[in-house]
Amino acid sequence: MASSVPSTPRGSFPRYLEHLSGSGKAIGVLTSGGDAQGMNAAVRAVVRMGIYVGAKVYFIYEGYQGMVDGGSNIVEAKWESVSSILQVGGTIIGSARCKAFHTREGRLQAAGNLVQRGITNLCVIGGDGSLTGANIFRKEWSELLEELAKNGKISEEAVTKYSYLNVVGMVGSIDNDFCGTDMTIGTDSALHRIMEVIDAIMTTAQSHQRTFVLEVMGRHCGYLALVSALACGADWVFLPESPPEEGWEENMCVKLSENRARKKRLNIIIVAEGAIDTQNQPISSQKIKDLVVKQLGFDTRVTILGHVQRGGTPSAFDRILASRMGVEAVVALLEATPETPACVVSLSGNQAVRLPLVECVQMTQDVQKAMDERRFKDAVRLRGRSFEGNLNIYKRLAIKLPDDQITKSNCNVAVINVGAPAAGMNAAVRSAVRVGIADGHKMLAIYDGFDGFAKGQIKEIGWSDVGGWTGQGGSILGTKRVLPGKFLKEIAEQIRAHSINALLIIGGFEAYLGLLELSAAREKYEELCIPMVMVPATVSNNVPGSDFSIGSDTALNTITDTCDRIKQSASGTKRRVFIIETMGGYCGYLANMGGLAAGADAAYIFEEPFDIRDLQSNVEHLTEKMKTSIQRGLVLRNENCSENYTTDFIYQLYSEEGKGVFDCRKNVLGHMQQGGVPSPFDRNFGTKISARAMQWITTKLKESYGKGKKCVSDDYICVLGISKRNVIFQPVADLKEETDFEHRIPKEQWWLKLRPLMKILAKYKASFDVSDSGQLEPVQDQNTQGEPAAI
């Protein structure tokens, strides 16, 4: 890609974004099409990053309509213009469908309005229609300017000065219907709304033994329906991309009645609003209800969620995603040249990438074409790796084959929870148990961690034993921080007594240490020479070998919700600063990412040492802030960030130094962060990663049993995690080098790169490393290396 800044190959010397490096540029930001939660976070990031680099940033109100109408619809944005919008759903700059922009006259008018203000950079937040419109506008730009000059609307000088338009898109759509990106802005928040409703409905359905048919949004895309079905363990799901096979009516009724026979008191059926059969005929929620009532006589109700899914406050994931995308969009505009094609900033695994807008839109339209032509397998494949993976796992977990159709492996696989409880652990156990049973294994549950393992608290666990587990917080199996070192002999005896052939450990740093101890003891106890894999589950997100842990997203949402309430209370009393202590041990993930999601002024973490001078500069920064219209402050502190600068110390220092300017309050969030129902992300992540771990176990068992060899090599004891874009199994022995055992954290942590982002958005100067940015990638090539980690 041609770029005004020479692009560096990934991994070479770092390239930093300089303060005021975009002086003289003017950026217009607009939201268009349907609204989505998180759009405001994206607008805020674009405005603040734009101002930080010295550009002028303009709000374009009411989408393309405002661009065509001009006048008071295009207004320069100030730093304070985007204050307090992070937690607001929808879009503060409005969105409207615009017929005029479809015409050349409309676009001519829009071009005149932009040139008047010197805007030659556009940041468009919307769906594929909005982005296509922006690309057409970009292509016609020079012709439009020449026509304006010919009509005497602008000077020839302006034609030369503003000769090209750069466009960067961000996808804001709750449907997650845009190809090329794993998650669009708003999808995670919409899933939060859906899961809140499903959790509430499940309690009433259970009381009355009812069947509920839930209709969720997704006219052309079944992502919301599929993921919510996966996250709640629905009995049946209807999607536009993957219609049910002929004779589905009978199959569905058999499945529902089988589930009832297994003592399941409720049935949940999820329908995407655009659900169709193989002949492209619509399948409505009413039709499904009538069918269930007629065939089975079950008490059945329909709930249509509608616009509830678009509303409400954005989730922590969406705020962080939108902030990252917004900053990346400004960096892309700064580096753009006349030759740069329009691009979309997007998420691939855990990495922000730039993709050619035209290719993404084309691929999105290809899905619809495949559906219209009834090429449903192609439609699912084109939707991308995330969608296809979700669909395959849903099918494996929802439908149990009769026992006589499952080939028995004659292997016993045990599942154990270790460490502190984390929301999503139960979803991971359910997924492991069901995938294991489908693979022909006998599944054993170990209760109360390694302590229970040594005492023989081991029982067989069946398919229906784990029904309804996805939405439960904590750990149903029970979990303890006890390490296996003291009980190795007893554990080896239990492995022998129960003929355990493989072990799946779900837990945090203790699970990692336990895995190391078990690995080291293999020489002494041959019973321990079995495949073992660990799936990270801890709110602290401090396990080496993975960018994410099950449970950290739920904790992040708890922190963000609390910060929102606290900010509200602070804005009522004015001139107040809150100091909030988060969990995480020595790992600053929750404090840093919570700070980014809640719009904090500072976050103190162990990984970035600070001294009294830093505290002093933060106090001065807040004193300045109190002179503006934003008269409140929010400071997060990780519980172990400093031995001496405790929460009390910081609170007293701020109180003393801020006398007469602001007053101070403190709040320790504590174990609230470990509790609560798991977020949709944690349910989905736990389900998918645990299913992947069981597939690995099945492969390893086949390898070792086929050759009759003992599992003594290092690659039989692994940690499964997500690293950048890939799902990877790393031998626990290899991870030792990457671990700071004293502080129980990995030596290198990806999220530290986002730290300057939080500082810049809070009006501090910071060096922001943009070495990973700059390359425009083809859409298809994203899956070529490694096993893709669609989150």
Q: Which residues contact 453 (CB under 8 A, 6 or more apart)?
A: 416, 446, 484, 487, 490, 491, 494
Report how far Cα 491 is from the mean position of its chain's Cα atoms.
37
251 contacts 244 by C-beta, under 8 angstroms = yes
57 pairs with which residues across the strands? 27
Strands 442-446 and 412-418: parallel
> Which amino acid, one-letter code, is at 754?
L
Closest residue by Cα to residue 365 from 177, 117, 516: 177
> Tokens 């100030």 sit at which residue?
78
288: left (phi over 0), alpha (psi -120 to 50) or beta: alpha
Amino acid (one-letter) located at 32: S
Q: What's the rounded Cα separation, in Å, for the pair 578 and 546?
A: 32
How many angstroms separate the CA atoms of 762 and 635, rounded?
Answer: 11
Angstrom distance (rounded) from CA 479 to CA 418: 5
Task: Check if 35 is active-site.
Answer: no
624-628 long-range contacts (CB < 8 A, ≥24 apart) are: 625/601, 625/763, 626/575, 626/661, 626/662, 628/80
Contact 121/26 with Cβ under 8 angstroms? yes
Instruction: Answer yes or no: are the C-beta atoms of 318 and 296 closer than 8 Å.
Output: no
Q: Which residues pair with 500 in a beta bridge?
A: 412
Query: Is 107 buried (19+), middle (13-18) or exposed (0-12) by CB count in 10 A?
Result: buried
Length of the chain: 791
Copy the structure tokens of residue 80. Answer: 């304070």
Distance CA 353, CA 359 (A): 14
| Distinct helix (H) and strand (E) counts, the chain | 24, 26
d(CA 343, CA 333): 10
Which listed residue (69, 175, 547, 564) is catalytic? 175
Calculate ∠ Cα 639-644-646, nearest 5°.
40
Q: 786 in helix, strand or coil? A: coil
Pick the closest to residue 252 from 209, 281, 283 (CA basis).
283
User: Which of 59, 179, 45 is closest to 119 using CA atoms?
Assistant: 59
For 659, the token pair is 């006398």
Under a CB-based contact definition with an 8 Å cutoff, are residues 347 and 183 in contact?
Answer: yes
Distance CA 135, CA 584 (A): 44
Identify whether the C-beta of residue 542 lies closer than 8 Å to the C-beta of residue 589: yes
Instruction: Identify the bridge partners of residue 170 per DSSP, sorted by sequence position.
Output: 125, 345
Q: Alpha-carbon distance 580 to 562, whole Å?
A: 10
Q: What is the CB neighbour count within 10 angstroms for residue 143?
A: 13
Dist CA 506 CA 495 (whole Å)? 18
Residue 374 CB coordination number (10 Å): 13
440: exposed, middle or buried (C-beta count within 10 Å: 0-12, 13-18, 19+)? middle
Task: Measure Cα distances from 148 to 64, 585, 645 in Å.
Answer: 19, 62, 62
Question: What is the per-residue burial (b if ≥16 Cβ within 10 Å, else e) of 700-710?
Answer: bbeebeeeeee
- SS3 state at 458: strand
Residues 6 or more apart in contact with residue 767 via CB below 8 angstroms:
16, 17, 756
**Residues that are catalytic:** 175
